[in-house]
Amino acid sequence: MPTKTDTNVEKAATSKPLTEVQARDLTERIRTAITEPFRLLKMARDGAAWAAMDYPSWESYCEAEFKMTARNARNVLVQAEVQLAIEAAVGDHSGSALPVVSQRQARALKPQLSKIAQRIRKKIDAGSPAVDAAIEVVATVKQANDQQDHDFIKEAALLLRRAVTTLQKADLSDSQWETLEPFMAEANKVAADLSDHA
């Protein structure tokens, strides 16, 4: 959960752009954050820290200050969005901290975020303890997403095997076979690896 200092910086960051001094302080806190740096990075983005520090863009700020690619920064911001939405759904009901959602989990949960928040609130309204409700709903959604991933990997392995089988049946010249043989061997290996992970 955010500290009082984090809350004050968050209020400043969401109400108006940060000053250069605030931006530099927040940037240093992000660099040294051990847990939940996503909150601080979101504050930096929302408060336009890059502009206060004379960077031409958010991406250039992330790269220069944190050696973070634009893609990684987006993933961290998605993690912040999902975590904060879950915390908002739980509200002030919780007496203990919620577990932090990983970046991978956040990317999977984000498309369903409004439904997740509704389900959490519904469980709380039905009498479930707030943190338990959030953990249960997130686990249920994660399990469904994992099953979809499993099914997708299984289907990808099957399609890859079919492609190799089709190529093996094709009437190809010797030079075409020589070109395709390494690809087909690798494709068979990938299909086997996918099947092992499915």
Give the model confidence (pLDDT) of 43-67 as tens digits: 999 999 999 999 999 999 999 999 9
Q: Do residues 74 and 160 both lie within one domain?
A: no
Q: Which residues contact 133 (CB under 8 A, 6 or more apart)?
A: 90, 120, 123, 124
CB 8 within 8 A of CB 45: no
Same domain, 35 and 119: yes
**Higher local confidence (pLDDT), 92 or 10:** 92
Q: Indicate whether 127 and 167 sit together in one domain.
A: no
Alpha-helical regions (H) of the chain: 4-15, 20-32, 37-46, 49-52, 58-66, 70-90, 103-109, 113-125, 130-169, 174-197
Q: What is the pLDDT of residue 186?
A: 81
Q: How far apart are CA 105 and CA 95, in angstroms?
A: 24
Domain closes at, from 102, 121, 144: 144
Domain that holds residue 153: 146-197
User: How many structural domains are present in the chain?
Assistant: 2
Whether 50 and 119 map to the same domain: the answer is yes
Supply the pLDDT for residue 65: 93
On whether both 23 and 105 belong to a single domain, the answer is yes
- Judge if 135 and 160 occupy the same domain: no
Please tell me whether residues 186 and 126 are part of one structural domain: no
Please check whether residues 34 and 117 belong to one and the same domain. Answer: yes
User: Do 36 and 131 lie in a common domain?
Assistant: yes
Identify whether residues 115 and 191 lie together within a single domain. no
Residues 105 and 133 in one domain: yes
Q: What angle do CA 20, 26, 101 make, to 5 degrees?
A: 145
- Domain finish residue from 127, 144, 161: 144
Cβ 116 vs Cβ 138: under 8 Å: yes
pTM value is 0.63
Residues 23 and 75 in one domain: yes
